[in-house]
Chain A
Amino acid sequence: MRASSRTRSPDARGTGIPRLLWVPAGLALAFLVLPLVALVAQVPWGQFGQVVAGSDVGQSLALSLGAGAAATGLSVLLGVPLAWVLARSVEWNPILRRLLRAFVTVPLVLPPVVGGIALVLLLGRTGLIGTFLRVWFGIQIPFTTPAVVISETFVAMPFLVLSVEGALRGADRRLEDAAETLGASRWMIFRRITLPLIAPGVAAGAVLSFARALGEFGATITFAGDFPGVTRTMPIAAYIALESDPGSAYVIAIILLAVAIAVLFALRDRWVGGLTS
């Protein structure tokens, strides 16, 4: 679809867009682009290196990258098998399937703060599981770096699952039959055939998850709080710095913007154009 729309020559009817629509369309574009222009224009580029090297920003950058990578790793580790179940549940009860899919999709549309509150109620000091973790093992999760990773995984994993599920649906299952007739065990088919076939989908999902994890704010501040060096990720640091030290807030913002652009670039073929290829 993408290729055809790119190569199709403009037809004789022109675009067919009523003139009146150009105005709101232009406004909409300006609405999306101008804030970014303002950001780029106002970043204190002269202090850029200094701010990044400074302990506060450097610390949240390292924390963000580390926690984001951990959340992405966790999403891949748990999300690929879940995507598998979802993609192969075709013969299950349709109600069960829809329910399963809804559970996977909820974090995508849920306000992150709600996710954070839900995590507190599950893993907090007096939470459903948190109570036992505290009483039996002396483990407390809230306000720790693992809490950051958990919050980010909660919001990021659906991207991975849906991306991998799409890739699995697109993969030719007859190749698994072929491998089976050659004597391959299920595990070998998974490792040597299916996984390599869906690798682009896994990669796309991982990049999206990482981007989502890196930008996570609401669930993290609710469940993990704001402790410099422990839970203060870049988005939180930017928000906090906006009052005391706007320059470093701008620098953090521009780094996050750069990451977002890099993600778009990495996914230009896989996600923006669909996962069919």
Chain B
Amino acid sequence: MSGLSASIEVARPAFTLALDLEVAAGTITAVVGPNGSGKTTTLRALAGLVRPTSGRILLGDRVLDDHDVHVPARDRGIGVVFQDYLLFPHLSAVENIAFGPIAHGTARPAAIAAAHDWLERFDLAQFASIRPRELSGGQAQRVALARALILEPPLLVLDEPLAALDASTRVSVRAQLKKELGGYGGSTVLVTHDPADALALADQLVVLEAGSVVQHGIPAEVAAAPVNNYVAGLFEH
């Protein structure tokens, strides 16, 4: 089977994060929860930046983590869109996007050409030589997305992709993100504290509280039958 199949346990000082994720290719799962519930740890574990204390992460038939296996982040080939996007400030937009292919040994001219294609696809062609600090939040987010997707990762993880935006642009950027993710064939895990983002973007919802899954399912079901006050509160707005 293609897609992500993960069972992650990470011991933290305050709690132990424990969750299972099954994300089919072409679908989006949102991990929702309050700050400190273990969302970012989940993402870092998937990305290989944190090694799970125990558990198993499978991507297709490839084992990324198991008792005796840990594929480091640089060899995982997972696309990550970080909170605040973390574009390289000293590189132009096109150089940011070309970074991954160059790291994988693609010759610089070919990598830059491929990066230009992605800029065009995301309506960013005129920003190719612009430094990240001159991009708007929405533009920076698309550059970050292009930087991750250019490597054609089988799994894409996004950490609060809309949190850095102000309210006025959020809705339009969210719509654009939905469109762009629609053209992506891999599994997507989206981490967010905002249920509105999760409802708008995700096929599946996982609600995390203090490191544990309190509810999961398709968004409409979860909204219709919240298991506790926290989950109910998520859908009140």
Contact = CB atoms under 8 A, between A and B. Distances in A.
Given A196-B90, A197-B90, A181 B99 contact: no
Nearest to A199: B90
Interface stretch (A57-65, A171-179, A212-220, A223-231): A171-179
Interface in B73-100: 73-80, 82, 84, 86, 88-90, 99-100
B168 to A, nearest CB: 27
Interface string A186-211: 00100011001100000000000000
Given A183-B75, A197-B89, A177 B103 contact: no
A192 to B, nearest CB: 7
A184 B76 contact: no
A177 to B, nearest CB: 5
B89 A180 contact: no
Given A193-B88, A196-B90, A197-B90, A182 B49 contact: no
A174 B77 contact: no
Q: How large is the interface on B (under 10, 10 to 19, 20 to 34, 35 or more residues)?
A: 20 to 34
Nearest to A193: B88
Given A177-B49, A177-B73, A182 B99 contact: yes
Contacts of B104: 183
A193 B75 CA distance: 18
A174 B88 contact: no
Given A174-B82, A177-B49, A177-B82, A182 B100 contact: yes
A172 B83 CA distance: 13
Given A175-B88, A178-B88, A197-B90, A192 B74 contact: no
Nearest to A175: B86
A253 B142 CA distance: 57
A126 interface: no
A183 B100 contact: yes
Contacts of B116: none
Nearest to B79: A181
A189 B48 CA distance: 16
B73 A181 contact: yes
Nearest to B80: A181
Contact of A183 (B77, B82, B86, B90): B77
A185 B89 contact: no
Q: How large is the interface on A (under 10, 10 to 19, 20 to 34, 35 or more residues)?
A: 10 to 19
A188 B151 CA distance: 17
B90 A182 contact: no
B79 to A, nearest CB: 8
A183 B88 contact: no
A57 B99 CA distance: 51
A188 B104 CA distance: 11
B35 to A, nearest CB: 17
Interface string B207-220: 00000000000000
B99 to A, nearest CB: 5
B47 interface: yes
26 contacts: A172-B86, A175-B88, A177-B73, A177-B86, A178-B80, A178-B82, A178-B86, A178-B88, A179-B99, A180-B49, A180-B74, A181-B48, A181-B73, A181-B74, A181-B148, A182-B99, A182-B147, A182-B151, A183-B74, A183-B77, A183-B104, A184-B103, A185-B103, A188-B103, A193-B88, A197-B90
Closest 5 pairs (CB-CB, A-B) = A182-B100, A183-B103, A184-B103, A178-B86, A181-B80
Given A175-B86, A177-B47, 9 more contacts: A179-B88, A180-B72, A181-B76, A181-B79, A181-B148, A182-B151, A183-B75, A183-B77, A193-B88
